[in-house]
Structure 1
Amino acid sequence: MQLLALALYHQDGTKTPRVLRFRPGRLNILTGESETGKTGVLDVVDYCLGRSKPGLPDNPIDQTVGWYALLAEFRDGRRMVLARPRPSGSSTNEAFVRSGDQTLSLPRANELKVNSNAAALRSEVSAHLGIEDFRFQPPAGAARYSFDVSVAQAALFCFQNQDEIAAKKTLFHRQTEDGMEQAIKDTLPYFLGAAGPEQALRQYRLGEARREVRTAQRKLDASLRQREVLDTNGITLLRLAQDEGLLSDVPAAPDADAVQALLRKALTVAPLAPVTSDIGDRRQELNEERRTLREQLQEYDAALATVDRWQRRSFDFTGELHLQVDRLKTLNLLGPERDHNTDVCPMCTQPLEHPDPSALDIARLTSRLSEELEEAVGVQPVRQEHRRALQAQRDDLAERLKLNGVFLKELMASDENMVRLQEQHLRAAHLQGRIAQSLAHDGRPSNDISQQRNMLASAQDVVTALEEQTANDDVPAETERRLADIAADITPWARRLKLGQSSAPNEAGISFSQLSVVIRRPQGRLPQERVGSAKNYIGYHLVAHLALHTYLRRHHRPVPSFLMLDQPTQAFFPSKPRDASTIPDADWSTVTEYFRLLHDVAELNQGDLQIIVCDHANLPDDWFQEAVIGNWRPDNDGTRNALIPPDWLH
């Protein structure tokens, strides 16, 4: 798969699309000033291959474009248009896909309608590339998900952003994103040809078989532990049964069969039940009698209190009557004064408004009070007799209440003994329930453990057979061997660029475990990050990817046949140069050698590899100018050339 054209369509669809043409099988150079959109070309191509997020900055590209379209051609001559709309949010899965022969070209703006999605787009591209339809299954127990191998992983080997090509520790596109490093490790063996769907399927089946072995082993271990627990539990139950009187003469160390027999015997023994009696009813009767006696006793106490209260009041009343009668009896001492006129004051002889009582009236009152006093005194003996009767009845009730308490105390003592017997009966019955439950759990067929041993042996046989099948599928070793073949190109090209640590006898290669370049020296391996200087980081990225793609093309592996590089010469210019071609003191000889290597590797692959470079450099050499597909610098009239046409910004 190589790229023929990239098109950007304006949002309103009326302006002429911005089309960037590529030359297949050759070096393509897009040169120009900074901030002209060169870096965006790589992001747009990556987005058109199925990424959900375009990764474009909020600049004129994202603000003016409505659709992005990529025209690609495959080895068999078939072509595809892969178009994606500008997402309305942070991402989108919408897509437009069209396939055809060599006459297929970019669509018109009004033809771009969503007819697919990103997943279907990746699936169609993968099929055209020849990526086999299989799902990568991570090893058993790995904390990651399975995924379908597609162009989404293959494209990771085709791009080098500006910051990626100068990275110290990483080598591949998006390697620092979550999960991407592991995805590269999972799929690199397949894309190199060190592993295929068959190996992946065998590895998956081997993982499943090993999981079955672990499951069978856990079940067998659990059964053995349960058997051991049951044996120990059986001995314990025998001792308890002996303590509760269900068994006697239990051996000190009975075997498993004896344990089972004795436990079954314990189930046949009826536990000693407490003697039934009417203690509960008798206790209830005594409690009822006690409550009644207390109520009656309270009534007699209240009656006695009432009698005593009336007796005291009677004494007070008769005493007062005696005093008043004694005072009135003094009237008998009067002489002629007895007949005094009570209407006149005896002192001043003046008439009284209210006449005084006469002596005769007072005499009559005295006589009446004397009669009442005699009646009150006569009642006293009757009242005292009534009180003695009440007291006698109250004493009888108190005696009966005392006797009731004695009976209750005797019943409580008897009841405690009954409770002890009842508790013993309940313990024995509960123990028999435990014995029955234990025998029920242990009532499985005796060949269960043997059956589980057979299942474990069968699962182990399957693992052994699969391990024999996969013995020749030493994917890591085969991957390292193929990476060694790639290193055969990396080393001479590194020496050609005079990169650090590249001189003989040192050899450079790609580390599968670290996914970076490593220098193999007699004194030990040197990781890429310790080589030092941006020139070396970029140089080793450059030669590693060139060697990788040369290997992929040589062995016809299903990876897109293009390599896109952004700013591979950035180490030789000041930070963010406006136009590198105007910098007189740059290391132009080294820059020339970098581009010359790119040109030569494209020629070496004889049309099977397309290299696309976006850079500030613009060399005057004929071979360089022949590779230029765009020069985004102002024209003589000052017209600005960039990815977005100037008229789109007005």
Structure 2
Amino acid sequence: MKIKSLHIYSHDGQIRSLNFNVNGLNIITGRSSTGKSALSEIIEYCMGRSSFNVPEGVIRDKVSWFAVIYQFSSEEVLIAKPAPSKGYSSCSTVMLRRGNNLEAPAYQELTVNTDDDTVVALLSRLLGIPENRTEVALDHSRSSFDTNIKHTYYYLFQKQSLVANKDQLFYRQNEQYQPQTIRDTLPILLGASSNQRFEIEAKLRILRRDLKLNSKLLEQAQGDRDTFLEKGLGFLSEAKAVGIINSDITYSNLDELILILENILNWQPTSVPADNGNIISSLENELIELRKSRRGLQSRIDSAYQFSKKTMNFEHEAGEQKNRLESIKALPRNPETNEWQWPFCEENLSLDTPIAKLLLNELESLEKEMNQVGAQKPKLEAYLVELQNELQAVVEKINLTEMQLSKAIEADELIVKMKTQNNAALRVIGRISLFLENIVPNKEIDRLEFENKRLTSRIEVLKSNANDDDSDNRLVSIINNISSQISKYIVKFNAEFSDFPARLDLSTLNIIFDRPDRPVPMSRTGGGENYLAYHLSTLLGLHSFVFKNDRPIPRFLIIDQPTQVYFPSEKAYQEADGTIQKTEADADLKAVQLLFELLLDFTKKEVPGFQIIVTEHANLRNQWFQDCLVETPWTKPPALVPENWPNI
């Protein structure tokens, strides 16, 4: 896969095209801010990357569509994408064409017909990337993914800020997750992992996921069984407390406890009798009337007793008075006349005196009254007995009514209690039912244990088959081969530490120099020229292996402003402006020539037909250098975007 041409479109339909030599070195040089560094962003954008990283400015304002034609051995693919809508930083819609000898479409022909996912799948397939799946552990935050053309970007682009970076070897290596992605995908792209290994890893991934899920179910089931006895006893106690079962029910083993709890589910609520509220009210009213009757009778009895007491006092007083009056009958009688004689008279007087008559009359009246009182006394006693009997009957009826009321109240309380108890019992039964539903039977535990053993055994077999695959050894061999190529190019660059073997370390994504006394990583070396040499040597060594072993990585490399390290300052490099005179005056001319000679030699001899695109400020008068220029140096104009194009 190489880059045949790049095209941009204005908003009014004008087109600007860059045609590249698909075999060899392509150089674009010129002034700064002419769009050279944006070429790699446009190419990446049209390889299936949705994010649009072209800097703000002329290109974003004046370009409406971007297109790149990629050349494969058997066909060409045109990928055109509109610029993201205003305010957006990405676009995933694409126009895709396939064929031979494709040309840039007219502006009117530009129309979206697919998306980035389709582009990635197509380019990956045309490159020959094998079907694969990069496994990521289940507990990692990353997701498993297929290796595709996006995972070749790391080895295709060396941008201005990267080309001489001492801490970063590959493109996007400084972004989150990208270092691990490089480690995961490079062995696949280099052919260290076989197709059989992909199949084994896919099966292992599925089996490990199933084993993890099954183990979780088994652990949960066993945990439930271990705590079942304790929980079951708790539910049994609750059932006894609400009266579902008798408190004297016992069990001798776990199975009996389960049976008891299962039988509890058949419990039916006790029927609740009718409400006694009206009976209680009626009895209370009756009791009030009876108590009123009792108070009335008691009052009448008290009055009769009071009357009887007064009568007795009268009889007592009257009797004493009678006794006193009857004393007059003890007076002596006249023998001749048989009449009482008055003892206080000197003479024998007759009782026919006023005083005697008065006393005798009083005595006679008193005897009459006493006779009357004596005659009424039996009636009063009979009356009192009658009242006492009535009072006793009322008291007995009160006692009976109070007993009936007490029973009615007890019955009412029982009704309330029965309702509450039934509700409590139903709640307990519901909880027991849910508990029993969640208990895994012994047969299910046996099945889960068997499934665990089966999955574990299957995983061990596949792991054994995977161990028979020599992918790890092949990867070590491949990295050693690439490292030997890297060492060769470092020598050609005359870089520091070229006397020691250089090694590509995948664990750190760094270049390590194996000195006899100690290893030295690239980050602990010095000088921008050395960092540039290590970066380019790594990529050239990698692509050399890819070419010789026909691995699925595109056959192009884009390098942005590599000779900046050969100028005394960034200002001097910027002022070179693509002119030969400025380059010869300010740059380390020998080093600049060596760099481009090595790149040209790589495309002609080391990897014939390989495509390298370099964007630069430097310019050399050598004819071979001039032959590699894609266009005359960009000086505004010319530039990537014509000045007469309208803004949005």
Compute the TM-score of the two structures, normalised by the length of structure 2. Answer: 0.69
Q: Check 1:214–1:592 CA distance in 2 against 1; reply closer, same or farther (3 A cut).
A: same
SS at match of 1:613: strand
Q: Which residue of 1 aligns with 2:84?
A: 87
C-alpha distance after superposition, 1:426-470 (max 9, x if no partner)? 799679948974995599754222222212222222222222232
Q: Tell me if the contact between 1:246 and 1:269 (Cα under 8 Å) persists in the aligned partners.
A: no
Q: Which residue of 1 aligns with 2:318?
A: none
1:58-457 to 2 correspondence within 5 Å? 58-76=56-74, 78-89=75-86, 90=88, 91-101=90-100, 103-133=101-131, 136=134, 138-195=136-193, 198-234=196-232, 246=246, 248=248, 254-257=252-255, 259=257, 283-285=280-282, 287-288=284-285, 407=402, 411=406, 415=410, 433=429, 437=433, 441=437, 446-457=442-453
C-alpha distance after superposition, 1:397-440 (max 9, x if no partner)? xx99xx89x95999499949986996898799679948974995
Deviation of residue 46 (structure 1)?
A: 1.8
Deviation of residue 558 (structure 1)?
A: 1.3
Q: Check 1:432–1:130 CA distance in 2 against 1; reply closer, same or farther (3 A cut).
A: closer
Q: Which residue of 1 aligns with 2:374?
A: none
* The one of 499, 505, 515 aligned to 1:504: 499
2:226 alignment partner AA: E
SS at match of 1:579: coil
Distance, in Å, in 2 between the alignment partners of 1:81 and 1:439 is 64
Distance, in Å, in 2 between the alignment partners of 1:80 and 1:266 is 75
Distance, in Å, in 1 between the alignment partners of 2:120 and 2:261 is 70
Distance, in Å, in 2 between the alignment partners of 1:267 and 1:644 is 83
Distance, in Å, in 1 between the alignment partners of 2:426 and 2:495 is 86
Q: Which residue of 2 aligns with 1:541?
A: 535
SS at match of 1:631: coil
Q: Tell me if the contact between 1:137 and 1:200 (Cα under 8 Å) persists in the aligned partners.
A: no
Q: Check 1:237–1:37 CA distance in 2 against 1; reply closer, same or farther (3 A cut).
A: closer
Q: Tell me if the contact between 1:274 and 1:425 (Cα under 8 Å) persists in the aligned partners.
A: no
Q: Which residue of 2 aligns with 1:458?
A: 454
C-alpha distance after superposition, 1:297-340 (max 9, x if no partner)? xxxxxxxxxxxxxxxxxxxxxxxxxxxxxxxxxxxxxxxxxxxx
Distance, in Å, in 1 between the alignment partners of 2:238 and 2:49 is 72
Q: Check 1:599–1:263 CA distance in 2 against 1; reply closer, same or farther (3 A cut).
A: closer
Q: Which is further off, 258-267 or 449-458?
A: 258-267
Distance, in Å, in 2 between the alignment partners of 1:503 and 1:41 is 33
1:12 counterpart = 2:12: yes
Q: Check 1:292–1:520 CA distance in 2 against 1; reply closer, same or farther (3 A cut).
A: farther
* The one of 533, 551, 554 aligned to 1:560: 554
Q: Which is further off, 596-605 or 476-485?
A: 476-485
Distance, in Å, in 2 between the alignment partners of 1:539 and 1:295 is 123
Q: Tell me if the contact between 1:553 and 1:605 (Cα under 8 Å) persists in the aligned partners.
A: no
Q: Check 1:609–1:277 CA distance in 2 against 1; reply closer, same or farther (3 A cut).
A: closer
1:35 counterpart = 2:36: no
Q: Which residue of 2 aligns with 1:515?
A: 509
Distance, in Å, in 2 between the alignment partners of 1:495 and 1:233 is 76
Distance, in Å, in 1 between the alignment partners of 2:272 and 2:125 is 90
Q: Which residue of 2 aligns with 1:493?
A: 489
Q: Tell me if the contact between 1:242 and 1:250 (Cα under 8 Å) persists in the aligned partners.
A: no
1:3 alignment partner AA: I
Deviation of residue 207 (structure 1)?
A: 1.7
Q: Tell me if the contact between 1:48 and 1:70 (Cα under 8 Å) persists in the aligned partners.
A: yes
Distance, in Å, in 1 between the alignment partners of 2:642 and 2:430 is 89
Q: Which residue of 2 aligns with 1:592?
A: 593
Q: Tell me if the contact between 1:223 and 1:449 (Cα under 8 Å) persists in the aligned partners.
A: yes
Distance, in Å, in 2 between the alignment partners of 1:26 and 1:575 is 28
Distance, in Å, in 1 between the alignment partners of 2:258 and 2:8 is 85
Deviation of residue 197 (structure 1)?
A: 5.1
Q: Tell me if the contact between 2:25 and 2:628 (Cα under 8 Å) persists in the aligned partners.
A: yes
1:84 alignment partner AA: K
Q: Check 1:262–1:525 CA distance in 2 against 1; reply closer, same or farther (3 A cut).
A: same
C-alpha distance after superposition, 1:220-249 (max 9, x if no partner)? 222222222223344556778899893659
SS at match of 1:230: helix
Deviation of residue 96 (structure 1)?
A: 2.9
Deviation of residue 188 (structure 1)?
A: 1.8
Q: Which residue of 1 aligns with 2:367?
A: none
Please tell me the root mean square deviation across aligned C-alpha atoms, in Å. Answer: 4.5
Distance, in Å, in 1 between the alignment partners of 2:292 and 2:11 is 103
Q: Check 1:480–1:287 CA distance in 2 against 1; reply closer, same or farther (3 A cut).
A: farther
Q: Check 1:164–1:284 CA distance in 2 against 1; reply closer, same or farther (3 A cut).
A: farther
Q: Tell me if the contact between 1:247 and 1:266 (Cα under 8 Å) persists in the aligned partners.
A: no
1:610 counterpart = 2:611: yes
- Determine which structure has more spread, i.e. the larger CA radius of gyration: 2
1:633-648 to 2 correspondence within 5 Å? 640-648=637-645
Q: Tell me if the contact between 2:225 and 2:440 (Cα under 8 Å) persists in the aligned partners.
A: no
Distance, in Å, in 2 between the alignment partners of 1:644 and 1:434 is 77
Q: Tell me if the contact between 1:155 and 1:559 (Cα under 8 Å) persists in the aligned partners.
A: no
SS at match of 2:532: helix
Q: Check 1:147–1:264 CA distance in 2 against 1; reply closer, same or farther (3 A cut).
A: closer
Q: Which is further off, 273-282 or 455-464?
A: 273-282
Q: Which residue of 1 aligns with 2:523?
A: 529
Deviation of residue 258 (structure 1)?
A: 5.5
Q: Percent identity?
A: 28
C-alpha distance after superposition, 1:572-600 (max 9, x if no partner)? 22224221641524322222222222222
SS at match of 1:27: strand
Distance, in Å, in 2 between the alignment partners of 1:227 and 1:572 is 75
SS at match of 1:3: strand
Q: Check 1:293–1:599 CA distance in 2 against 1; reply closer, same or farther (3 A cut).
A: farther
Deviation of residue 494 (structure 1)?
A: 1.9
Q: Check 1:644–1:234 CA distance in 2 against 1; reply closer, same or farther (3 A cut).
A: closer
Q: Which is further off, 89-98 or 427-436?
A: 427-436
Q: Which residue of 1 aligns with 2:544?
A: 550
Distance, in Å, in 2 between the alignment partners of 1:292 and 1:536 is 121
Distance, in Å, in 2 between the alignment partners of 1:84 and 1:124 is 16
Compute the TM-score of the two structures, normalised by the length of structure 1. Answer: 0.69
Distance, in Å, in 1 between the alignment partners of 2:458 and 2:546 is 36
Q: Tell me if the contact between 2:82 and 2:93 (Cα under 8 Å) persists in the aligned partners.
A: yes
SS at match of 1:99: strand
Q: Check 1:216–1:294 CA distance in 2 against 1; reply closer, same or farther (3 A cut).
A: farther
SS at match of 1:569: helix
Equivalent residues, number: 533
1:227 alignment partner AA: R
* The one of 548, 553, 570 aligned to 1:575: 570
Q: Which residue of 2 aligns with 1:333?
A: none
Distance, in Å, in 1 between the alignment partners of 2:407 and 2:526 is 98
